[in-house]
């Protein structure tokens, strides 16, 4: 059986994977759905001092605790800390699965990879160091530390021999997806399996069965 480590996106906690994790566990797999430091826990006040390195450490700790190669999957922002963590523990990662997520190269940030609309949202947190949670998010979501979006990913390991899967959401409500440039880049890179799903950015809600099948396949 496979161990999955799941990394949430901005403002969210491990609870965003509850239904998906339940299905994977029902199939006999082990799932660690992370809640990153100072994000997505309504009982913990977000801390503007938290940066990308803090979240990378969260993911590295989960990889170390797993005790063997895992399928590491991240949604949206979660693609950044998971990539850096995989770079530091390549021997502990059997597959990387990006769920409508950023795929950083060395020196890139979430801010540098996104579009102007998303950057305008990030800038709403300039005064406090915390990007505000949009009102339409789950009530358990929290504000998000701005520093995590602006600290560069530092990568040194060649992960091309690790199985890599990208899942792209095609329905952004009539607006361009900020992950379009990422999709275009990965289509031209060898070694990637790319899926395009007719779903909104919250793939866990809009395409649960397809997402489950992608994750099961990544472990096969």
Q: How many domains does the chain have?
A: 1
- Provide the whole-model pTM: 0.97
CA distance 217 to 6: 15
pLDDT in tens, 158-215: 999 999 999 999 999 889 999 999 999 999 899 999 999 999 999 999 999 999 999 9
pLDDT at 220: 82
Phi, psi dihedral angles at 146 (to 5 degrees): -60, -35
pLDDT at 67: 87
pLDDT at 188: 86
CA distance 183 to 191: 14
Helix, strand, or coil (residue 68): coil
CA distance 160 to 189: 10
Q: Which residues contact 158 (CB under 8 A, 6 or more apart)?
A: none
Helix, strand, or coil (residue 164): strand
What CATH number did the domain enclosing 107 receive?
A: 3.40.50.1820
Helix, strand, or coil (residue 186): helix
Q: Which residues of the chain are under the pLDDT cut of 50? A: none
Q: Which domain holds residue 53?
A: 3-218
Active site residues: 76
CA distance 46 to 182: 29
The token pair at 134 is 């949009």
Phi, psi dihedral angles at 212 (to 5 degrees): -60, -45
């Amino acid at each position: 059986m496979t161990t999955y480590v799941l990394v949430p996106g901005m403002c969210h906690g491990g609870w965003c994977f509850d239904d998906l994790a339940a299905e994977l566990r029902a199939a006999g797999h082990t799932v660690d759905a992370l809640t990153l430091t100072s994000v997505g826990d309504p009982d913990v006040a977000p801390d503007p001092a938290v940066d990308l390195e803090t979240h990378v450490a969260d993911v590295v700790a989960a990889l170390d605790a797993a005790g063997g190669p895992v399928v590491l999957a991240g949604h949206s922002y979660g693609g950044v800390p998971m990539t850096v963590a995989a770079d530091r523990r390549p021997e502990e990662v059997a597959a990387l699965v990006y769920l409508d997520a950023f795929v950083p190269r060395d020196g890139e940030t979430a801010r540098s990879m996104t579009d102007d609309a998303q950057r305008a949202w990030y800038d709403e947190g300039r005064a406090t160091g915390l990007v505000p949670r949009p009102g339409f998010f789950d009530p358990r979501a929290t504000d998000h530390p701005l520093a995590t979006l602006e600290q560069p990913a530092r990568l040194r390991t060649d992960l091309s021999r690790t199985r890599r899967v990208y899942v792209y959401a095609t329905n952004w409500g009539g607006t361009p997806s900020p992950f379009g440039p990422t999709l275009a880049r990965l289509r031209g890179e060898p070694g990637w399996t790319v899926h395009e799903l007719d779903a909104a950015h919250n793939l866990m809600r809009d395409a649960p069965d397809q997402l489950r099948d992608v994750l099961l396949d990544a472990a096969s």
